[in-house]
Structure 1
Amino acid sequence: MRPQQVLLLGLMLLVPVLAFLFLKGFGTNRYALPFYLPERVDSTLVAGKWQRDTVYHQLGSFQLREGAGGREVTGAELKAQGLYILSAMPPGCPTDCQRQTAQLVRLQEKYRQEPRVRLASVLTSPDSMAAAARYAEQAGAIAGKWFFLTGNESTVNRLLKQELQLLPSATTASAGPDPLVVLLVDRDGYVRGRYNGTSERDMNRLITEISVLLYIYDNP
């Protein structure tokens, strides 16, 4: 066999090995989900040196009422299986809200057979049991998969304004946070994704990041 042929054969055998090593070293677990809602910065003494570490907000306990049937649903129940997709619904559900609902319908169908993924839509106008039930019916919400929730004013405000910063508070400017934002909440109560609920591109990113989070759960 000629030297040129030997060299060519060697390169042909070497390329797959190099590709495998590259993918193993650089192509695994490179997609890290961020945390949202920074709360404070702590300093910790490690090996004689101070290290600064950001602490992110972890959702506190909350309890709302489901429009369909009036059953009480807690934050602990929503995250018990793995993760949930949380959104807010303004009064009357204008055109943009309907576009967001259409995207959420797509997500429900995507994860119909995945019990670890749930959806929760919180009505921004409190104590709207009839409206919550009507929205659930119009969206074709699957019982136990997609929850349309409401509650008293203080509970809804604390969750959407203070905890999640989805709505402007009385002390902020009128051009506050957009209520048509969808959040990805993990099983520990941390917000791991923030998306424009009316954007198909953003919701496709949500699908990707749900897959990443489920992979992390399967491969701790």
Structure 2
Amino acid sequence: MSNKFPLAKILILVTILAVPGFLYYLLQSKGENRYKPLPIFGPKEVATTFTKKRGKKIPDTIFHVVKSFEATNQNGNKVVIDSIKKQLIVVNFFYSRSKDLVPQMYTNIKWLNQEFKDNKIVRFLSISVDPVFDNQSVLAQYAKQNGALSGKWDFLSADTNVVYPLARNQFFLNALENKQTGEFIHSEKLVLLDAEHRIRGYYDATSASEVKKMGDEMKILITEELRKIKAEF
């Protein structure tokens, strides 16, 4: 019995180490149906064009694409979303004076940023819903506090007549000021955009398990994007 116990432990360890590698192989293999693609969120319409699949003409679908917008980051530089090419974008809304919700969110977002800090295909954008207070110097301090590097993780500010419609009409999230309390209402969701700026997922930034799930699904989406890039050559 004493010899079997160490062997069992070794087998368990080998399984733990082997499974992630096997899953990675499945994602990287050439077969197109090895994993389930992430859904595409937002309104959609049927196009007038068709794609042939197994001899059948399938109508193409036009999916919602987040429209371009311009904002200023923590270094005072302009960031235009249409200039972000061939990258996944993680987007959230916040305001630096938040005492409860935002600190909870950034505990998990910092973890996610750390997970992908060396991955050049991933970009983070945090957009303030309180641009009057969240000026460049405030954003710079807040970015430093969260370990954000400009160009990888940008904290952005723009006028409310840009930010609020952007949140509601492009990301389908709440963003507004409560005039009575002076506080701001915004969603706790993280939004995942693909390289075409289509919405591929919503995740609760206050939940560690949800953000971990997001990290896993980002790896799937990265595989999708790398396949597209490979197909171009």
Instruction: Give me the whole-angstrom Cα distance separating, in 2, the residues matched to 1:43 and 1:155.
Output: 32
The answer as to whether partners of 1:81 and 1:117 remain within 8 angstroms in 2 is no
Alignment of 1:141 with 2:148, yes or no, is yes
Equivalence for 2:63: 56
Aligned to 1:198: 206
Q: Which residue matches 2:197?
A: 189
2:164 paired residue number: 157
Distance 2:159 2:175 in 1: 18
Q: CA deviation at 1:40?
A: 4.0
Q: What's the TM-score, normalizing by structure 1?
A: 0.74
User: What's the secondary structure of 1:219's corresponding residue?
Assistant: helix
Three-state SS of the structure 1 residue aligned to 2:162 is: helix
CA change 1:182–1:46 in 2 (3 A) is: closer
Q: Tell me if the contact between 2:86 and 2:121 (Cα under 8 Å) persists in the aligned partners.
A: yes
Given the alignment of the two structures, is residue 207 of structure 1 paired with residue 212 of structure 2, yes or no?
Answer: no
Cα deviation per residue 1:90-134 (whole Å; 9 max; x = unaligned)?
A: 351232211111111111111111111111100011242133222
Structure 2 unaligned segments of length 5 or more: list them: 1-25, 178-184, 229-233
Q: Deviations over 1:47-82 (max 9, x none)?
A: 9x997765321011110000x2210001023x3241
Partner residue, 1:82: 87
Q: Distance in 1 between matches of 2:149 and 2:96?
A: 22
Q: Give percent identity, aligned residues only.
A: 23
**Cα offset for 1:181?**
0.6
Gaps of 5+ in 1: 1-22, 171-176
Separation (CA, whole Å) in 1 of partners of 2:60 and 2:186: 29
Shift of 1:158: 2.5
TM-score of the two chains, using structure 2 as the length reference: 0.70
Greater C-alpha Rg: 1
Length, aligned pairs only: 189
Paired amino acid for 2:128: L
Output the amino acid matched with 1:71.
Answer: N
The 3-state SS of whatever aligns with 1:192 is: strand
